Structure 1
Amino acid sequence: MKFVTFEVDGKRQAGIFKDSRIIGLHEASNGVIPEDLMKIIVDYPRYQPLIEQCHNGGYTLENVRLYAPLPHPISIRDFYAFEDHVITARGKRGLDVVPEWYEIPVFYFSNHLAVKGPGDVVLRPDKCEKLDYELEIACVIGKEGRNIKASQAKDYMFGFMIMNDWSARDIQAQEMKVGLGPAKGKDFATSFGPSLVTTDELSIEQGKLDLQMEAFVNGEQYSLGNAKNMYYSFAELIEQASRNVTLYPGEIIGSGTVGSGCILEQSGREFLKPGDRVDLSITHLGTLTNVVGEEDAHGLLSENGGDSL
């Protein structure tokens, strides 16, 4: 299933994208299925049979506003799992890959209260001159678990969605000299969407997905990769994330940037500026679009992005 969170007539609710229409699950079930997708995920075995019976009615994509599938996730752990990205990004800074990278998958916690959705304007932070996108794929945890083995991790994967880990490279470079990891360089926005696709619609082999990943800036292709090229699988990421810690439904596990998946890795390209449109596309997951804006004396730039499921 393709789950979405959308708004129509001023009311935000969970839905599924089916037969080119968005079906509001609360409406279609006569109020039995919750309006909040997080509540559906937490009790999914109960609601799944009811969701499968929701066929009638619905809205066209043009008549709704899409939000991130989980506008308020419990947490966001973003890993660093693509070797090509690590080699290239560190090489741009004159650094080798540290041996420890090959020993354990590492992550940082991003700001789960700064989530953006399809079509949202993402504001370039003040004093940032090197705004970058990061093309990633994210897994949503579907059930509670602790010390999960990689061999069991698939049972905890509810679904996947596109993730854009926006990065203020100049701010990030300054603060990471302290040695504590990214903070304000990542703090301002992370985009997800347009939909959350359940694992039963995707082929997952040994914790990996064979999905093409692309990024476009103002219609020009900047990035091309594949999720199968992760050095560490999602199964291994979940094993690491759950070590000595309980994971809960609605937590997000990010893959990190695919090889070539950001401007930092490339030569001769300018960083993002207000008015630029960024489209991230992943096979079966759709296209996530955002436009870069900034605050000025007249308020926010009002460029609209687009949504493609």
Structure 2
Amino acid sequence: MRFATYEHDGTERAGVVQGDGIHPLPEGATVLELIRSGTLRDEGTEALGRPAVHTVADVRLLPPLNPPSIRDFVAFEAHIEGVSRSLDGMEHVPEVWYRAPAFYFTNPHAAVGAHDDVPVPAGCSVLDFELEVGAVIGRSGRDLTPERARDHIIGYTIFNDWSARDLQKPEKELGLGFAKGKDFANTLGPWLVTADELEHRRDADGYLDLEMRVSLNGAPLGRDTLANASWTFDEMVAYASRDAWVRPGDVLGSGTCGWGCLAEIWGRAGERTPPPLSPGDEVTMTVEGIGTIRNTIVPGRAGAYLPRARARGRTPRP
């Protein structure tokens, strides 16, 4: 099943998408609440027994759910190689990357819909996109094995981890992780596809073999498969749950696929071609079995609040 959250005539509603039609879920129900209660599939089945009320073209698609948290992994070796060349001048993948599926927490309140405009963040002149798949947790778990973790994934969505590269680079020098460089927007959509819909694309090693494609202003730019990740989602969920809880609605990003962002392409080419995103650019991402998202860049705020540190005393108070 495909579960969407949408807006029509100023009213937000959740529904099941079948073909081009949207079959509404009960009024007031949200995808996240139904995941938490364990009734998402049952309510979806009942909704499909009722007539479709809208078509996808008639509504504004919102993020399919409001995730309590978003962990974003870096699971693609090709991406690390290209971005390391672009941002750090490195000609190899750092050895530490191979030790475990690293991730960072990003902003769950910055999610935008599948076709929403994305403003350029304040102070940014090197805007980039990142093509990923997001796994959505269906039930709580802690200290999971990869085998058990698979049953805790309820479905998948496309995840575009928008990145302000010029804000991101100096943040890395502090070693605290990303902050304003990743704080402003991430696209989730167009809907949540339940895990059973994609099981037939799982290979012998446990990877989902889903083609991932991104284009800029209609021109194909990057292409890869989710099966090229160095860890499966089962392994990533298990690692995230080590000594910690994963909860219903949590989103875990795969990390950017190979050739899935401008910075990686710049690193391989040795030049910024195509140039950083600017107002009017349209980014389209398609993941096989999930769908397509399409966002247009628009102008953002002109000013950026940037308070510098004050010099303070370094001696202890008597």
TM-score by length of 2: 0.87
Deviates more, 1:169-178 or 1:87-96: 87-96
| Counterpart amino acid of residue 64 in structure 1 | V
* Structure 2 CA distance for partners of 1:271 and 1:23, relative to 1, 3 Å: same
User: Partner of 1:238: helix, strand, or coil?
Assistant: helix
User: Partner of 1:172: helix, strand, or coil?
Assistant: helix
Distance 2:76 2:25 in 1: 36
Distance 2:253 2:192 in 1: 13
Partner in structure 2 of residue 30 of structure 1: none
Distance 1:296 1:186 in 2: 16
Distance 2:50 2:185 in 1: 36
2:283 aligned with 1:274, yes or no? no
Distance 2:192 2:22 in 1: 13
| Counterpart amino acid of residue 109 in structure 1 | F
Aligned partner of 2:83 among 89, 94, 99: 89
CA contact (8 A) 1:150 1:238 kept: yes
Distance 2:301 2:176 in 1: 32
Partner in structure 1 of residue 309 of structure 2: none
Question: How much has 1:102 moved relative to structure 2?
Answer: 0.8
Question: How much has 1:131 moved relative to structure 2?
Answer: 0.2
Which structure: larger Rg? 2
User: Partner of 2:169: helix, strand, or coil?
Assistant: helix
CA contact (8 A) 2:74 2:255 kept: yes
Partner in structure 2 of residue 7 of structure 1: 7
Question: How much has 1:222 moved relative to structure 2?
Answer: 1.0
CA contact (8 A) 2:121 2:301 kept: no
CA contact (8 A) 1:116 1:191 kept: yes
Partner in structure 1 of residue 44 of structure 2: 51
Partner in structure 2 of residue 80 of structure 1: 74
Question: How much has 1:53 moved relative to structure 2?
Answer: 3.0
* Structure 2 CA distance for partners of 1:74 and 1:39, relative to 1, 3 Å: same
2:204 aligned with 1:214, yes or no? no
Q: Which has the higher helix share?
A: 2
Distance 1:209 1:296 in 2: 40
How many residue pairs get aligned? The number is 289
* 5+ residue gaps, structure 2: 303-318
Question: How much has 1:295 moved relative to structure 2?
Answer: 3.0
* Structure 2 CA distance for partners of 1:47 and 1:214, relative to 1, 3 Å: closer
Aligned partner of 1:61 among 41, 48, 56: 56
Distance 2:35 2:191 in 1: 14
Distance 1:97 1:19 in 2: 42
* Structure 2 CA distance for partners of 1:182 and 1:149, relative to 1, 3 Å: same
Question: How much has 1:213 moved relative to structure 2?
Answer: 0.4
* Regions of 4+ moved over 3 Å: 204-207
Distance 1:56 1:179 in 2: 53
User: Partner of 2:174: helix, strand, or coil?
Assistant: coil
Question: How much has 1:282 moved relative to structure 2?
Answer: 0.4
Distance 1:280 1:171 in 2: 24
| Counterpart amino acid of residue 208 in structure 2 | L
Deviates more, 1:101-110 or 1:262-271: 262-271
| Counterpart amino acid of residue 41 in structure 1 | I
Partner in structure 2 of residue 160 of structure 1: 156
User: Partner of 1:139: helix, strand, or coil?
Assistant: strand
Deviates more, 1:163-172 or 1:50-59: 50-59
TM-score by length of 1: 0.90
Partner in structure 1 of residue 106 of structure 2: 110
Question: How much has 1:10 moved relative to structure 2?
Answer: 2.1
* Structure 2 CA distance for partners of 1:185 and 1:296, relative to 1, 3 Å: closer
Partner in structure 2 of residue 263 of structure 1: 262
Q: 1:204-237 deviations in whole A, cap 9, x for unaligned?
A: 3444211000001100111101000000111111
Partner in structure 1 of residue 18 of structure 2: 18
CA contact (8 A) 1:73 1:250 kept: yes
* 5+ residue gaps, structure 1: 28-33, 298-309
Q: Which has the higher strand share?
A: 1
2:189 aligned with 1:193, yes or no? yes
CA contact (8 A) 1:207 1:236 kept: no
CA contact (8 A) 2:4 2:14 kept: yes
1:161-176 alignment, distance < 5 Å: 161-176=157-172
User: Partner of 1:90: helix, strand, or coil?
Assistant: helix
| Counterpart amino acid of residue 112 in structure 2 | K
Aligned CA RMSD, in angstroms, stands at 1.4
Distance 1:47 1:238 in 2: 21
CA contact (8 A) 1:122 1:292 kept: yes
